[in-house]
Amino acid sequence: MGRFGITEIILILLVVVLLFGGRKIPELMKGIGQGLKDFKKASKVDDEPEKMSAEPKENTKK
């Protein structure tokens, strides 16, 4: 069920073209690409504090 055949891919592309039109598709793809780029950037920023907090802290109490 997880695999798409060539017929399904063509059908999906046809529906996308009919819904958005030929002129809107490049804008749509650009928006999706920018969203993925921002998501990856945010993921990297969120991972950095976790790496720093994983290091053991020195005990300053005496």
Per residue in 3-41, pLDDT (tens digit) is 889 999 999 988 988 888 888 888 888 999 999 999 998
Burial of 7 (0-12, 13-18, 19+ CB in 10 A): exposed
pLDDT at 20: 82
Closest to 35 (Cα-Cα) out of 45, 23, 43: 43
Read off the pTM: 0.47
Gap between the Cα atoms of 11 and 17, Å rounded: 10
Residue 52 φ then ψ, to 5°: -70, -40
Burial of 25 (0-12, 13-18, 19+ CB in 10 A): middle
The mean pLDDT of the chain is: 79
